[in-house]
Amino acid sequence: MEELGTVQAKIISREIIKPSCPTPPHLRNYKLSSLDQLTNRNYIPRVLFYSNNINYCDSPHNTTANNKSHQLKKSLSETLTLYYPFAGILKGDGISVDCNDEGVDFLEAQIHCQLSDILKPPKLEALHLVLPSGLLLGNNSYKGGSLVVIQFSHFTCGGMAIGMCMSHKIADGCNMGTFLNDWAAMARQSIVLSPHFITVSAMSSVPPPGDPFIVPEVEIGKEARVTRRFVFEPSKLAELKAMITSESAEIENPTRVEAVTALLYKCAMTASKANSVPFTLRSSILSQLLNMRPKMVPPLQENSVGNLVWYFTISVTDEKDVNLHGLVGQLRKNRTEFYNKYAKNVTVNEWFIVSRKLLRDLKELFESNNSTNNVDFYVSSSMCRFPFYKVDFGWGKPIWVSTAGGNVFENKFVLMDSNREGGIEAWVSLGEMEMRAFERDEELLSFAQFNPSVLD
């Protein structure tokens, strides 16, 4: 029994769900791509909340609850036949998966409260109750075990939550959205397309990309950091975009992600300055995540499985550059230059070779600046337009999708679609002192709400 204040969560069952059909012998050894190999072993969390007007009693033997649980487990087993590496085990070398049909952990829990008790407004500290225990973002506790861990939670009001943690070694955020939708389609007995795996075996004609280079594992819990949730309503996003456009004739129709990323970066730099001694702007670098699938030649489908993302960077060294239109301009310019220099007319095989060199360059950039300790690093990733709000297992679409709490890294922004079409949620992780200044920033709060209810 887990407890947070008056909220209690009780695990009522735990099973291993295996693929419904055994994986053929010739597919048993799944060799990870070079980017998968270089990715840390942390787990990506996601929680989908569903409402239900039917009241459950607290008993786990309730027929309706059991029917839905059976439906989830049966369809998950069928889906794992298509996503067979997800049911395997990462080998000790970290470069391949033994697709031995070991299965994935499936927990079922009873949450002794109403859904509204933790969503009106969202109690971020309670989200771990609807996730597999101990697997918040960045926790490596399932190292060597299940690559996917799922918890199906029932609330006393009849609401439900599906919490999933997926190893970053085998997939990225785009894959998580595709997997969840395929699982839901299988539960509705709809057509599911087989995923396309980007593996070393699929790149047999590509020579080895140089000496082995392994990214060190991220140490979790070493730094004090705070995560906050800010929501941008569609009308406020329109105001923000209009303001940016009015500042410079060169910036036309900034996207939602460009506008919000620029604002978060500007406010984070201001917060860092407020805590600097002397009271001056620190140089900073922002890395922006890109989904490389549509940029390959030929373009890859969204169901291409593997870590197919990259970062480009922008930087600020002078106070005069801390303005929204300038930051949006940098985001556009540097993104275009990155594509033209590294990803234009590039096949996926060629991209893996290029990305290995880029990772070395990025690592050297961070290490050289960290050695002087006078540069702030920020990372921003957007999961907007990923189809999390379409995940319908047969009882409706989720009323809210959460990234589920703290981030691995300090100074990180995670952007997601809000549950209102056209809106954005920003999950921001900063150091404690920086967050105190950030969450009081008047410009930020003129466009964003701090952690509003998702049920209004």
User: How is residue 32 written in tokens?
Assistant: 């990870």
Per the CB < 8 A criterion, the answer to whether 449 and 231 are in contact is yes
* Ranges assigned E (strand) in 339-423: 375-382, 400-402, 412-417
Per the CB < 8 A criterion, the answer to whether 38 and 215 are in contact is yes
Nearest to 172 by CA among 45, 299, 306: 306
The Cβ of residue 384 has, within 10 Å, a number of other Cβ atoms equal to 15
Determine the distance from the C-alpha atom of residue 211 to the mean position of all C-alpha atoms in its chain, rounded to a whole number. 30
In angstroms, the CA 2 to CA 82 distance is 34
Q: What are phi and psi of 387, to 5 degrees?
A: -85, 45
User: How is residue 80 written in tokens?
Assistant: 């794992």
In angstroms, the CA 295 to CA 291 distance is 8
Active site residues: 168, 392
Looking at residue 122, what DSSP letter applies?
B
In angstroms, the CA 157 to CA 151 distance is 18
In angstroms, the CA 413 to CA 311 distance is 13
Per the CB < 8 A criterion, the answer to whether 415 and 231 are in contact is no
Whether the bond between 278 and the residue before it is cis, its omega within 30 degrees of 0, is yes
In angstroms, the CA 165 to CA 137 distance is 8
* Degrees, nearest 5: CA angle 260-262-268: 100
Per the CB < 8 A criterion, the answer to whether 113 and 156 are in contact is yes
Looking at residue 384, what DSSP letter applies?
T
Whether the bond between 234 and the residue before it is cis, its omega within 30 degrees of 0, is no
Q: Which amino acid is at 188?
A: R
